[in-house]
């Protein structure tokens, strides 16, 4: 039997587009004489559809699309993912289904049993878990059709407090009673740089355990904060990576099941360099946020610092230099090199930039606020005014030219609240909000791997917000190497304060950093969506009560 795997970038709710992509792949699969073509989880609406699933009209559009796609399946069979209505009187209204389509009909369906409801996943919000299992007999083979988490009954979490077995049921244990020949897993599995290897291991382990191949089909492309790496896997019956589809690209491959059933000639896995994948993920995230919201161009504030420099470089890669624009907004506190470094980068990247001094509005605010602040000392208020003036300018350009403001905050400063709400925290999309400062340097090094793009001075100078004379980040924060280690242990690993350790890490610093994290939940509540590259990003995957005392 010949099987095609279609790794596609879907757009949530864009049924016409998704149908077109799917039908084209069906035509291609037929041309390659495939018997079966497999698409990813919830490919019909795009993943994650979130609360659009609560709308009956949205579900009806899914059903119509399924019918149309079934009509494309002449002389070929396809597996697609779609929500379907739960016909029982009790339970959630929907199932998360894999539908087998052939000759205009749904000839088999399997519903997801394990519904991830943690981190960025909310599937039990919408779906009823399936409790019955059966294999699909096709061309002499028995296919165990599973949906993403169905194979993740055993997994390792970064937070050690989580159980390795989150579910009281193992779909594959049930399906194995029917002796399947192949495991098919349709997925919508987002990228996390710390789980690249462990994700592959999940599927390899299943193939090895049951002695049958696993075909995992993932989507690619980004939907707001979630970036799907694709990297679909064909694993042979010995648990070896027989073939891996590319990361962060659409791809299509047709193969013969005999080859993976016999376990012959595995191509092996792709090389996975973390910094390179993070780079690809962020470029994908920017590109798709713009293309899927219908915007083409971006604006950002270029300070001469490393965060905005990296952000701009990624944006130019994603959108093209004609679609990226920068504003340099020096003040009385800006160092001379800041403007020079920013101009250097803008000219290297050949993007349009303007230099707009913030002195006039700064003076104007000073004057009108004087009666209210008379006799009071200058403090963080005045620093925030500068940051907010810059946001007003950037948003004005955004509004006037119809471009999206990119937010350039990094995860380290977002964690401790080292940023101004409605100031440098503004933007339609946070590009680096899940990238710690120490990782920012690694990415900058990667950008400059062949030739210098980001100016050396931008990389080597001491980080500063330049909101008052002689200000450096380390005035308020520990060294970034120490800060990031504490943050990672507290946020990703969720360790208690007394178990956060490492070279140069003192308990008092840990306590201070944790207080800063907790005291700034309110700022992050209003932050833009953050492109997620880690296992615990700010945004929907991390939900903290604002009024907690903890």
Q: Considering only residues 120-139, where is the footprint of a second copy by CB under 8 A?
A: 122, 124-125, 128
Residue list 168-187, contact with a second copy (CB under 8 A)? 168
CA distance 471 to 486: 23
C-alpha span between 44 and 513 (Å, rounded): 44
Active-site residue flag, 206: no
* Letter string b/e over residues 378-403, b meaning 16 or more CB atoms within 10 A of that residue's CB: eeeebbbbbbbbbbebbbebbeeeeb
Residue 501 engages a second copy in binding (rule: CB under 8 A): no
By CB under 8 A, residue 497 contacts a second copy: yes
392 touches a second copy by CB under 8 A: yes
Residues 6+ apart with CB under 8 A from 383: 420, 465, 467, 468
Angle subtended at Cα 250 by Cα 247 and Cα 254, rounded to the nearest 5 degrees: 100
Judged by CB under 8 A, does residue 549 bind a second copy? Answer: yes
Q: Does 12 bind a second copy (CB under 8 A)?
A: yes
Q: With respect to a second copy, which residue has the nearer C-beta, 448 or 471?
A: 471
Q: Which of 62, 72, 73, 148 is catalytic?
A: 148
Cβ density class 418-441: b for 16+ within 10 Å, e for less: bbbbebbbbbbbbbbbbbbbbbbe
Task: Say if strands 226-229 and 404-407 run parallel, antiparallel, or are unpaired.
Answer: unpaired
* Residue window 82-111: x/- pattern of binding to a second copy, with contact defined by CB under 8 A: ----x-xxxxxx------------------
275 binds a second copy (CB under 8 A): no
| Residues of this chain, 292-331, that bind a second copy according to CB under 8 A | 292-293
Closest approach, Cβ 311 to a second copy, in A, equals: 18
Query: Would residue 176 show up in a list of annotated catalytic residues for this protein?
Result: no
Q: Which of 521, 4, 18, 5 lies closest to 292, judged by CA?
A: 18
Nearer Cβ to a second copy (140/161): 161
Pick 307 or 540: Cβ nearer a second copy:
540
Task: Tell me the torsion sign for CA atoms 136, 142, 148, 152.
Answer: positive
- 528 counts as binding a second copy under rule CB under 8 A: yes
User: Among 69, 138, 137, which Cα is nearest to 103's?
Assistant: 69
Q: Say which of 19, 30, 41, 403 is annotated catalytic.
A: 41
Taking residues 405 to 444 in sequence order and writing x for each that binds a second copy by CB under 8 A, - otherwise, the string is: ----------------xx---x-x----------------
58 binds a second copy (CB under 8 A): yes
Nearest CA to 385 out of 368, 406, 399 is that of 368
Tell me the closest approach of the beta carbon of residue 325 to a second copy, in angstroms. Answer: 10
* Residue number with CB closer to a second copy (237 or 489): 489
Report the residue from 256, 381, 452, 501 that binds a second copy according to the rule CB under 8 A. 381
- The count of residues interacting with a second copy (CB under 8 A) is 100
Q: Which is nearer to a second copy, 170 or 272 (CB)?
A: 170
What span, in angstroms and rounded, lies between the C-alpha atoms of 252 and 235?
A: 16
Handedness of CA 419, 420, 421, 422 (dihedral sign): negative
Select from 21-29, 103-111, 180-188, 374-382 the region that touches a second copy (CB under 8 A): 374-382
Binds a second copy (CB under 8 A): choice among 20, 364, 445, 452? 364
If binding is defined by CB under 8 A, does position 379 make contact with a second copy? yes
Residue pair 433/407 in contact (Cβ under 8 Å)? The answer is: yes
Binding-site member from 20, 27, 33, 55 for a second copy (CB under 8 A): 55
Of the two residues 240 and 434, which places its CB atom closer to a second copy in the complex? 434
**Hey, which residues between 140 and 159 contact a second copy (CB under 8 A)?**
159
CA distance 110 to 125: 19
27, 31, 380, 476: residue in contact with a second copy (rule CB under 8 A): 380
- Report the alpha-carbon distance of residue 348 to residue 329 in Å, rounded: 19
Q: Please tell me whether residue 31 binds a second copy under the rule CB under 8 A.
A: no
Residue 132 CB, nearest approach to a second copy (Å): 13
Of these, 288, 307, 434, 473, which contacts a second copy (CB under 8 A)? Answer: 288
Long-range pairs, 380-387, Cβ under 8 A, ≥24: 382/467, 382/468, 383/420, 383/465, 383/467, 383/468, 384/420, 384/423, 386/331, 386/333, 386/358, 386/362, 386/423, 386/467, 387/419, 387/420, 387/423, 387/424, 387/465, 387/467
**Main-chain phi, psi angles of 268, to 5 degrees:** 90, 180
Which is closer to a second copy, CB of 4 or CB of 398?
398
Tell me if residue 112 is catalytic: yes
Residue nearer to a second copy on the CB measure, 442 or 542: 542
Q: Which residues are catalytic?
A: 41, 112, 148
């Amino acid at each position: 039997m010949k099987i095609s795997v279609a790794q596609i970038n879907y757009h949530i709710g864009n049924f016409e587009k998704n149908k077109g992509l799917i039908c084209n792949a069906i035509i291609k699969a037929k041309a390659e004489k495939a018997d079966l073509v497999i698409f990813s989880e919830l490919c019909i609406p795009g993943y994650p559809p979130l609360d659009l699933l609560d709308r009956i009209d949205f579900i009806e559009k899914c059903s119509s699309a399924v019918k149309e796609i079934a009509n494309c399946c002449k002389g070929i069979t396809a597996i697609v993912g779609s929500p379907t209505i739960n016909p029982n009187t009790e339970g959630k209204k929907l199932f998360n289904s894999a539908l087998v389509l052939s000759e205009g009909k749904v000839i088999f369906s399997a519903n997801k049993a394990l519904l991830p409801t943690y981190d960025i996943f909310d599937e039990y919000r919408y779906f009823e878990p399936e409790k019955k299992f059966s294999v699909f007999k096709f061309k002499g083979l028995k296919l165990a059709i599973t949906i993403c988490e169905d194979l993740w009954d055993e997994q390792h979490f970064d937070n050690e407090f989580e159980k390795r077995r989150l579910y009281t049921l193992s779909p594959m244990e049930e399906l194995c009673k029917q002796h399947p020949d192949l495991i098919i897993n349709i997925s919508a599995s987002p990228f996390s740089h710390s789980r690249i290897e462990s994700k592959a291991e999940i599927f390899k382990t299943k193939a090895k355990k049951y002695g049958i191949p696993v075909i995992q089909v993932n989507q690619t492309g980004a939907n707001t904060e979630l970036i799907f790496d694709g990297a679909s896997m064909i694993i042979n019956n010995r648990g070896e990576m027989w073939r891996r589809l590319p990361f962060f690209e659409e791809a299509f491959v047709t193969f013969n099941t005999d080859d993976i059933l016999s376990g012959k000639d595995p191509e092996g896995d792709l090389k996975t360099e973390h910094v390179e994948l993070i780079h690809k993920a962020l470029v994908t995230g920017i590109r798709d946020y713009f293309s899927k919201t219908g915007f083409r161009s971006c604006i950002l504030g270029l300070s001469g610092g490393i965060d905005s420099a990296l952000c701009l470089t990624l944006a130019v890669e994603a959108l093209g230099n004609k679609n990226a624009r920068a504003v340099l907004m020096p003040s009385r506190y800006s160092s001379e090199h800041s403007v020079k470094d920013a101009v250097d980068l803008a000219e290297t990247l050949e993007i349009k930039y303007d230099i707009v001094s913030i002195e006039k509005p700064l003076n104007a605010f000073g004057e009108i606020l004087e009666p209210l602040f008379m006799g009071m000392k200058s403090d963080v208020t005045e620093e925030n005014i500068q940051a907010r003036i810059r946001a007003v300018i950037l948003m004005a350009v955004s509004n006037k030219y119809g471009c999206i403001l990119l937010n350039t905050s990094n995860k380290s400063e977002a964690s401790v609240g080292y940023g101004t709400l409605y100031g440098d925290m503004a933007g339609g999309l946070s590009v680096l909000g899940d990238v710690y400062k120490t990782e920012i340097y690694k990415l900058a090094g990667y950008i400059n791997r062949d030739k210098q793009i980001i100016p050396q001075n931008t990389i080597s100078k001491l980080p500063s917000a330049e909101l008052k004379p002689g200000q450096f980040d380390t005035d308020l924060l520990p060294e970034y190497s120490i800060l990031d280690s504490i943050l990672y242990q507290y946020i990703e690993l969720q360790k208690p304060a007394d178990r956060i350790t490492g070279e140069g890490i003192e308990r008092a610093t840990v306590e201070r950093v944790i207080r800063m994290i907790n005291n700034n939940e309110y700022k992050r509540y209003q932050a833009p969506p953050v492109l997620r590259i880690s296992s615990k990003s700010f945004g929907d995957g991390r939900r903290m009560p604002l009024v907690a005392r903890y």
